[in-house]
Amino acid sequence: MMSETESLMCYDPESAKIVFGSVKNAVISSWDVTLKHLVDWKVFDKIKSTNKCGELIGKVYALNEKNLREIGFAGHKEYTGWVIPDPLCLMCYLFPEIITHIDVVETSICVDGLGRGATICDWFASYHLGNPQKWIRSVDQAKLEKLLVQIVEQYQETN
């Protein structure tokens, strides 16, 4: 169920809490994992010059490419790579062999107070606030980048 859905928890935390409460062992990729696994710009350049599929990908990311290359994500030089949160989730779903580390963590959503919409991860299983979920902690960067290129290379134009 969770593999194909995305919850914008801060906008509808009650629904997100229902989803997390009804699912066990969903595989989740966090923003932290996205920033940990930025794709090298050489890979991006290769992809966008491969074929029409790659050209389209290049156009989609063209709006923020210059800033990401020069100043990094949100102005942080340590994050100067191709930021691919949704494609990374999809790659983990389609190719689970790229996942190198998962932690099973009881997870819930805060629905009130200042923390409204925040994801609650009980890393030490101390509070038993939610169901266990599988949080991706790392992926094989080389395999990820190789697969991204291979997928675009497989695109064949049909008329």
Express each pLDDT in 109-147 by its tens digit: 999 999 898 889 998 889 888 999 999 999 999 999 999
Rounded to the nearest angstrom, the gap between the alpha carbon of residue 29 and the centroid of all alpha carbons in its chain is 5
Residue showing tokens 């997100």? 16
pLDDT score for 76: 86
More confident residue, 143 or 12: 143
Virtual torsion, Cα 101, 107, 85, 117, nearest 10 deg = -160
This prediction's pTM: 0.84
What are the start-end ranges of the H helices in the chain? 13-22, 31-36, 41-48, 52-70, 85-94, 141-153
